[in-house]
Structure 1
């Protein structure tokens, strides 16, 4: 089910931002890290019973990449010092720009805040960057990942979260 969301998301939603070689390279870089599922921090959103999107957050050091990525690091983060990671966000193209990604971000933010995290961090594709900016993430750095064969531009982004009582208040 997750591949049915991820594969078309990569193939279709990156088209306006990357060329064909970069998209192929992205397929080798991106993917699901099943540690998120094992940790219970991964969400699937359905619309009328149809899987529309997926994504999660992590209390572990890996910033991005799937099970096949060599740079994975399962070390636990310290909520007092480290930002939680937003990971493996995908929206099926048929459900793009319908609030699926924003819903997942809200779930991630509330869950991370409940565990004491005060910041979120992620590595954005150029296609995802507008969503994350609109949600309050700010750019930390622009870089490239060439592990898939061709350099793919990506953006490290961060967002502060604040806990007030039992809810989460976003920084304006």
Structure 2
């Protein structure tokens, strides 16, 4: 995750913002406990990871303040896409798209008709390409510097979920 933060985000953030991102982001062990976290490997090498959640927390790792494990309600609330990271050497090779597809498929199967996420500026193009729309732009300064983020959302297709392409 650290390489995913430091590498691709360097084109969008200052060194102080990258350090703040390291303090804000990270693995959320609740996703693992809930069995909603996916990894993608290429020839035995970790290429990327990410998950979805039916809990209130929008982003951040175990150490991030302001988290809430309270459940969301399928059909009422939007599921959360969480902790999406791609190793720098696998960026723009379909890894993020594959993980995103798995997350959307699983959230739909769990009864959610909408998903939301909080994107970094580096991740925003991926989500736009998959039909997500901007809800709001904001900054999080809890890591010691103002990190620009984008809340985005998408309505999931009605009907039977398809396997990601």
Shift of 1:167: 2.2
Aligned-pair CA distance for 1:80? 1.5
TM-score calculated relative to the size of structure 2:
0.97
Cα deviation code 1:23-49 (max 9, x no counterpart): 001100100110000000000000111
The residue that corresponds to 1:3 in the other structure is none
Instruction: Give RMSD over aligned pairs.
Output: 1.1
Instruction: Say yes or no: does 1:19 pair with 2:19.
Output: no
Moved over 3 A (4+): none
The structure 2 residue matched to 1:94, chosen from 73, 83, 89, is: 89
Give the Cα separation in 1 of the matches to 2:100 and 2:82.
10
Q: Is the 8 A contact 1:61 1:76 kept in 2?
A: yes
Among 105, 123, 132, the alignment partner of 2:127 is 132
For 1:68 and 1:167, locate their aligned partners in 2 and report how far apart those are by CA, in whole Å. 34
Aligned residues: 163
Structure 1 gaps of 5+ residues are 1-5
Structure 2: runs of 5 or more not aligned: none
Structure 2 counterpart of 1:39, from 34, 37, 47: 34
| TM-score using structure 1 length | 0.93
Q: Deviations along 1:50-101, whole A, 9 cap, x unmatched?
A: 1100000001000001000111110110011100000000000010000000
